[in-house]
Chain A
Amino acid sequence: MTSKISSAVLPAAAPHTADRDRGTRIALILLGLGVAVAAPFLLYPVFVMKVLCFALFACAFNLLIGFAGLLSFGHAAFFGGAAYVTAHAAKVWGLEPALSILLGTASAALMGLVFGALAIRRQGIYFAMITLALSQMVFFLALQLPFTGGEDGIQGVPRGRLFGLFDLNQPLVMYYFVLAVFLAGFALIWRTVHSPFGQVLKAIRENEPRAVSLGYRTERYKLLAFVLSASLAGLAGGTKALVFQLASLTDVTWQMSGEVVLMTLLGGMGTLLGPVVGAGFVVALGNYLAATSLPVPVVIGAIFVVCVLLFRRGIVGEIAHHLRRRST
Chain B
Amino acid sequence: MHDTILEAVGLTKEFKGFTAVKEVNLQVRRGTIHALIGPNGAGKSTVFNLLTKFLPPTAGRILFKGRDITAMRPADVARLGLVRSFQISAVFPHLTVLENVRVALQRHQGTSFHFWKAESSLHALHERATALIEAVNLTPWTGHTAAELPYGRKRALEIATTLALDPEVMLLDEPLAGMGHEDIERTAALIKRVAADRTILMVEHNLSVVAHLSDTITVLRRGEVLAEGPYAVVSRNAEVMEAYMGTGTHGAGHA
Contacts and interface: CB of A to CB of B under 8 A. Distances in A.
Q: Do A and B come from one complex?
A: yes
Contacts of B139: 6, 8
A195 B90 contact: no
Contacts of B98: 9-10
A196 B122 contact: yes
Given A196-B114, A197-B115, A207-B90, A5 B95 contact: no
B52 A215 contact: no
Nearest to B196: A1
Given A197-B113, A199-B99, A214 B165 contact: yes
A213 B82 CA distance: 9
Interface in A122-139: none
Contacts of B65: none
Contacts of B14: none
Contacts of A228: 115
Interface residues of A, number: 37
Nearest to A217: B75
A216 B90 CA distance: 15
* Chain A contact residues, majority secondary structure: helix
Contact of A5 (B134, B140, B194): B134
Contacts of B76: 215, 217
Contacts of B194: 1
B71 to A, nearest CB: 16
Interface residues of B, number: 56
Interface in A33-69: none
A161 interface: no
A191 B94 CA distance: 19
B102 to A, nearest CB: 7
Contacts of A245: none
A213 B83 contact: yes
B140 A2 contact: no
Nearest to A7: B130
Contacts of B118: 191, 194-195
Interface in B108-149: 109, 111-119, 121-122, 126-127, 130-135, 139-140, 142-144
6 contacts: A9-B98, A11-B143, A198-B119, A213-B85, A214-B165, A224-B115
Given A191-B115, A221-B112, 17 more contacts: A2-B132, A6-B133, A9-B126, A10-B143, A11-B142, A11-B144, A188-B116, A192-B116, A194-B119, A196-B106, A197-B114, A197-B117, A199-B119, A203-B103, A206-B95, A209-B54, A213-B83
